[in-house]
Amino acid sequence: MDTIRLEEKQRAEAIASLRRYWEETMGEPVGELRAGLLLDFFLEEIGPLVYNQAIGDAQAQLTAHVADLEGELYADAFQYWARRAGKKK
């Protein structure tokens, strides 16, 4: 997998968020360039961990639904008369 890439607007919002976090927690400003470099590092180094976890979570969800496909989608046959009898009540 290649490095995770963000759209321009997402990248700008992520950098703004990093800058705000740094300034509020460290008490000093950080420039846009440094915040951008930090974001690049996170995306390249830690991004794949998050990505892989998301893929694993989605795969587990799909596997659970497919395993119970019959239970979720099974349709009883010959129900016309049973439904019709229920309407007469």
Q: Which residues of 13-45 are buried (b: 16+ CB within 10 A; e: fewer)?
A: ebbeebbeebeeeeeeebeeeebbebbeeebee
Q: Provide the terminal-to-terminal Cα distance of the chain, rounded to the nearest Å.
A: 61
| 43 touches 14 (CB < 8 A) | no
What secondary structure letter does DSSP report for 15?
H
Do 45 and 52 form a contact (C-beta atoms < 8 A)? no
What does the pLDDT profile of the chain (89 residues) look like in tens digits? 778 899 999 999 999 999 999 999 999 999 999 999 999 999 999 999 999 999 999 999 999 888 887 777 888 899 899 888 887 65
Report domain extents, the chain: 1-45, 48-89
